[in-house]
A and B are shown apart, each in its own frame.
Chain A
Amino acid sequence: MELANLSVLLVWGAATALAIGFIAFAVDLSRLSGAKVDARDAARSRAKVAVGAGVADAPVDAPVDDAGPAAPVSRKLAGIGMSVTWLAAALLLIAIVLRGIAAGRTPWANMYEFALVGTFVAVAVFVGVNTRRDVRFLGAFVAGLGVLFLVLAQEKFFVAAMGVQPALQKYWLVLHVGVAIVATGIFTVAFVTSVLQLLRDARDNGSAMLGSRRWGWLDHTATPGALESLSFRLNSVAFVLWTFTLIGGAIWAEDAWGRYWGWDPKEVWSFIVWVVYAAYLHARTTRGWSGSRAAWFVVAGYACVLFNFTGVNLIFNGKHSYSGL
């Protein structure tokens, strides 16, 4: 079998593993939330009894956290989810390496390969962070996005493995594009974290829509503050890498195109991404803008990242037209 075909098979294998992981993580979350809600209901009924007994100040929500550990839920499914996610990362890595061997170059020179490697980085960041902190609650979202990206890449962005045009033949392909992909992967995980932060924040503040039992799994993520902190750390790493992407791209453009900055659509949108995340970093430290409001900048920034990757490649006609489509 040809290496290029084997690579495609492995990508499908990784997508399948991630799909299994997604289901395992999702069921795990729903079981957790069921247990949590049951515990909360029990606590509420206890509190009502206490009120009935004449203790007017009995804190209604206080026993909830105590009740959590009292009803331990098996997290076996989360464990299965982690295992298949590790497997997916391994399969994807082999697929990427084989693709590089088949094409005889760095395996990130077009949109398809960018999507593969970006998904790999997002999954790798997730399993990597999880070795240090328990962030299994992110699993369903990272795995879900991973499946989406891989299937989209395979179905819509696929191009045969081949060499690259003269403008791409430089070591900057490894650095500039490689670092951009790593940044994109990290932005993805940070985005998931910030979305959870916003949802959790809305639920905790008594949102009518998110307060229902169906969203009970949110209680088993982490506090908004903890999610904010994790998102910020991921975003600050990705922001530094993105800054390097811009500078590296400018140095390369100076050699390849005879100018370091020319407001090519890709350059414009990379600049917009940079400015939006810079605004996010400022918002975090501005009174009245920290917390949820700052998290919206992450959502906006990630939307720009996605548009920079898809919209700019497919709609606009610029110098970065390397999608091969």
Chain B
Amino acid sequence: MAGRTRSSDSREGTYVPEGIADEFTQGEPAEAPSSGEKPQRPNAPALGLVGTLRWMWRQLTSMRVALMLLMLLAVAAVPGSVLPQRNQDAAGVIEYLADHPTAGEWLDRAGFFDVYSSVWFSAIYILLFVSLVGCILPRSAAHYRALRGRPPRVPSRFNRFPAKATATTDATPEEAVDAVAARLRGRLSWLPLFRVDRGEEAARGTRPAAATVSAERGYLRETGNLVFHLALVGLLVSVATGQMLHYRGQAIVTEGRGFANAVVDYDTFEKGSWFRPESLVPFSMTLDEFESEFASDTVAFAQARDFTAHVTVAEPSGAERSEQIKVNHPIVVDGAKIYLQGNGFAPEITVHDADGAVAFSGRVTFIPEDTMYTSRGVVKVPDVSSGLDQIGLVGYFLPTAEVNEDGSARSAFPQPVDPLLVLEVYTGDLGLDDGSPQNVYELDTANLTAAVDDQGQRIKVLARPGETVELPDGLGTLTLGEELPRYVALDLRHDPSLAFVLVFALLALGGLTVSLFTPRRRVWARAYTGPDGATVVEVAGLARGDDAGLQTEVDRALAAVTGTEPGATRREPQQPRIATRSEKD
């Protein structure tokens, strides 16, 4: 437990996490470069239960374990990008399980299809955060004490410091250290650059009594470091709270129709465990019109350029207002955001059965399968006159039809230039009567028979807007409406934690920036009367981490001494670094 012994050696009030290599906190440069140093292991005495727990806690909050957990977190995140994940691509998971029955089942048991909510992923980041808190809280307390503390006393010898300089001057030792102290404090008295202490020192060995300065700057560096880590904790708590309180509903709305903000009105509804249905504000919304725009030049042919949904929002108070929803521009209604997530065609289809009765009439949502809006849809016609077979229709709606010679068809442009409906016809039992839920976008053909022609080929029914066509085998007729209503897929989401998530993220960014770019330096100066009667001024500096400006700071402090001859300054940069241009020239 090298960390404990080290921390007891160091200045009072500091906290050193186990395993950190930080000569700055120790107050003096290490005797040997710490790189590659093996922690010394004392002969471990029996620890007992409390001792073991203390030991485990110190291990958990040590730098090495934090490092290991960070690496584990990176590795653990990988499978979620390789394997399909349930919350993004449920269909992909089902397909994977079908393709890899054995491996898939084991992966599923181990949570590989819900990586980011799996036990092992959660364990890693929770341990990481426990380790972080266990390290940061004592450090925060130590930093709070350090903030009110004074700069450390002047070290007895300067020769081991990474930056130092010496000069002789005609000024008295007191004048010299006063000049250094003034330079270190800076011009603004209300915002000193360094925290500075002037002092005196008794004679020691061959060195006569001296006037001294000890100064420290860059407390903000540790502040930024702590703010960053604490903000990460805040971020995690905010995200978790948001998960508990949020709700998200998806609704498909066709032009001229609307929906009300109630759980039952959404096609899918997902909520956190603390969500209460009565918290939904009962506004309603109507889709007045949907506009889409596509490029028609040859380079970017048919690429989407703009989608706009014109809607009317009716508040519970009765007030109505018109709004526009675009991709990237959700509207906010009563604290919930409404997004435009998809769009397509929902043509009006009417089916008359063999008896001539209206068996189905309504708008059918066709889901685009490619960028040209070749859209797939299903019509289920269970309500035929008694004694007749139920009818199922499945096929494509093509906004701009392009029929190939082999009879296959696809769309050649996303806008309805030459619309065509192409459907295959099935008869039999749709399986709707037993009450089990079915996907409205899929036709279960297990108990259905396809209509075929004399060659055994499936018959395709083609209809253009306004046309009424005969269904095969005398099943009845199908009418495609003259108008082609558009539909939009809307996503409504409410997450009360958003503002907190943003604030903590920005705090983390700010804290990180401050902690990486604020120099933390200590500068000491000592002035005494040398053997020849002139005043000798010695300055030394120590910085936390790499600090290319440390030697310059020391030189500037020394230059403040009146009467310093520039040539007398001895510079011995010890930190290995690449020489700056000015140093070379």
Contacts and interface: CB of A to CB of B under 8 A. Distances in A.
A34 interface: no
B25 to A, nearest CB: 10
B546 interface: yes
Interface in B22-76: 22, 34-39, 63-64, 66-67, 70-71, 73-74
B295 A223 contact: no
Contacts of B575: 225, 229
Nearest to B341: A258
A224 B581 CA distance: 20
Contacts of B73: 275
A167 B63 contact: no
A268 B80 contact: yes
Contact of A232 (B74, B502, B546): B546
Contacts of B330: 255, 258
A289 B19 CA distance: 10
Contact of B74 (A224, A254, A275): A275
A42 interface: no
A87 interface: no
B355 to A, nearest CB: 46
Interface stretch (A19-27, A89-97, A150-158, A280-288): A280-288
Interface residues of A, number: 64
A226 B67 contact: no
Contacts of A251: 502
Contacts of B327: 166-167, 169, 256
A290 interface: yes
A243 interface: yes
Chain A contact residues: over half helix, strand or loop, or mixed? helix
Contact of B581 (A133, A278, A285): A133
B125 to A, nearest CB: 10
Interface in B456-481: none
Contact of B578 (A222, A256, A260): A222
B420 interface: no
B304 A286 contact: no
A247 B74 contact: no
Given A133-B580, A258-B493, A263-B116, A287 B80 contact: no
A262 B63 contact: no
B441 to A, nearest CB: 20
B505 interface: yes
B448 interface: no
B509 A229 contact: no
Contacts of A211: none
A49 to B, nearest CB: 31
A166 B67 contact: no
Interface in B216-230: none
A269 interface: yes
A247 B505 contact: yes
A224 B575 CA distance: 11
A247 B341 contact: no
Interface in B286-345: 295, 297, 299-300, 303-307, 326-330, 337, 339, 341
Contacts of A224: 576
A225 B67 CA distance: 22
Interface string B486-501: 0000010100001001
A134 B578 contact: yes
Given A225-B575, A255-B328, A256-B327, A287 B37 contact: yes
B280 interface: no
A290 B35 contact: yes
The majority secondary structure among interface residues of chain B is mixed
A71 interface: no
Contact of A268 (B22, B81, B546): B81
A302 B311 CA distance: 47
A285 B77 contact: no
Q: Which of A161, A169, A236, A258 has the most CB of B within 10 A?
A: A258
Interface string A155-188: 0000011110111011000000000000000000
Interface string B230-243: 00000000010000
A283 B67 contact: yes
A290 B34 contact: yes
Contact of B71 (A131, A250, A279): A279
A286 B66 CA distance: 10
Contacts of B578: 133-135, 222, 226, 229-230
B247 to A, nearest CB: 12
A144 B250 CA distance: 51
Contacts of B36: 288, 291
Nearest to A227: B578
B275 interface: no
A260 B501 contact: yes
Given A133-B578, A288-B37, A316 B81 contact: yes
Interface in A227-272: 229-230, 232-233, 236, 239-240, 243-244, 247, 250-251, 254-265, 268-269, 271-272
B20 A286 contact: yes
Interface string B243-265: 00000100000000000000000
Contact of B505 (A135, A250, A268, A285): A250
Nearest to B544: A285
Nearest to B371: A165
A166 B21 contact: no
Given A134-B584, A287-B37, A167 B328 contact: yes
A232 B328 CA distance: 37
A123 interface: no
B77 A229 contact: no
A8 B552 CA distance: 46
Contacts of B295: 162-163
Interface stretch (B510-518, B527-535, B554-562): B510-518
B85 interface: yes
A134 B305 contact: no
Contact of A131 (B303, B337, B506, B581): B581
B416 interface: no
Interface of B: 19-22, 34-39, 63-64, 66-67, 70-71, 73-74, 77-78, 80-82, 85, 87-88, 115-116, 239, 248, 295, 297, 299-300, 303-307, 326-330, 337, 339, 341, 491, 493, 498, 501-502, 505-506, 508-509, 512-513, 516-517, 545-546, 548, 575-581, 584
The 4 closest A-B pairs by CB, nearest first: A225-B576, A162-B300, A166-B327, A279-B70
13 contacts: A162-B303, A163-B295, A163-B305, A222-B578, A229-B575, A239-B512, A255-B328, A255-B329, A263-B87, A271-B77, A282-B67, A285-B22, A288-B64
Given A162-B297, A255-B328, 18 more contacts: A225-B577, A240-B513, A240-B516, A258-B339, A263-B80, A263-B115, A263-B116, A272-B77, A275-B74, A279-B70, A282-B63, A285-B20, A286-B67, A287-B21, A287-B34, A287-B37, A288-B19, A316-B82
